[in-house]
Amino acid sequence: MKPKVLCVLALATLALSACTTTKQHASADFKPPQGTYKLIVMRPDVTVSVLTAGGMLEEREDWTKRAEENVLTALRAQQAKRGGSATIVTTLEQAGANPQLVRELDRLHEAVGRSIQMHKYNPALALPTKENVFDWTLGSRAVEYGRASGYDYALFLHAEDSFSSGGRVALQAVSMLGCVVGVCYIPPGGQQIAFVSLVDLKSGQVSWFNYLFSGTGDIRTQEGADDLVEYLLNEMKSGAALDKS
């Protein structure tokens, strides 16, 4: 194979493999919890899918179940290294309040979390009223849950992982060859997107939020799930520190 072709294919391969990036946001007065706080880690919302040749995501139940178990194991290990009293739950009934209230809180967080992801991490969709502030809340339902359960904070984690099907990989390979003749569009492959938020249950505010994007990683393996949780939760910064960064 000619050197020019090798170079083109190498560049195309690099384009398909993105590094892992994270970016935190926090309210101005936020400080990472310390002391004898009580934290509940809600059951993680995990989905693992296959990316078809046509670009559609199809969830794989077996992959999702395995990944959820791995993420739970990683969260237990990560929280064990921190201070305070942390409880990790896997069912609504374990959350210490009316299951219906917990279900509503989960759904509310998903909606708010996706709004934060959309408007704080996409400059084209930034909200003018929130441009220089981090001001998001789960409102009275979170406060009600805090009073009923006795917890000070709730931690929510959402993760989506996807992997290219054989047909998608073949399509990418054909597209790479197109680069040789000057037609260089390479369809994206599977990717990993996740976010985690810490909610103050006394005020209902989303005090801290971290977003992850990666073209690598595999939460179907324990090592991959450990890496995901480590990236998201290893270094929780205060609002003041983030303002200076």
The mean pLDDT value for 127-155 works out to 94
Q: Name the pLDDT band for 6 (thresholds 50, 70, 90).
A: very low
Q: Name the pLDDT band for 130 (thresholds 50, 70, 90).
A: confident
pLDDT of residue 9: 32
Q: Across-strand partners of 193?
A: 160, 213
pTM of this prediction? 0.82
Q: With 70 as the cut, is the pLDDT of residue 199 above it? A: yes
Percent of the chain past pLDDT 70, that is, above it, reads: 79
Integer Cα distance of 83 and 33 in angstroms: 9
Domains of the chain by range and CATH?
22-28+35-244 (3.30.160)
| Cα→Cα distances 32→28, 69, 82, 137, 158, Å | 12, 27, 11, 17, 20
Do 77 and 234 form a contact (C-beta atoms < 8 A)? Answer: no
Integer Cα distance of 12 and 17 in angstroms: 9
Higher pLDDT among residues 22 and 245, named by residue? 22
pLDDT of residue 169: 42
**144-157: pLDDT as tens digits:** 999 999 999 999 99
**224-244: pLDDT as tens digits:** 999 999 999 988 999 989 977
Higher pLDDT among residues 169 and 23, named by residue? 23
Residue type, 153: Y
Q: Across-strand partners of 157?
A: 196
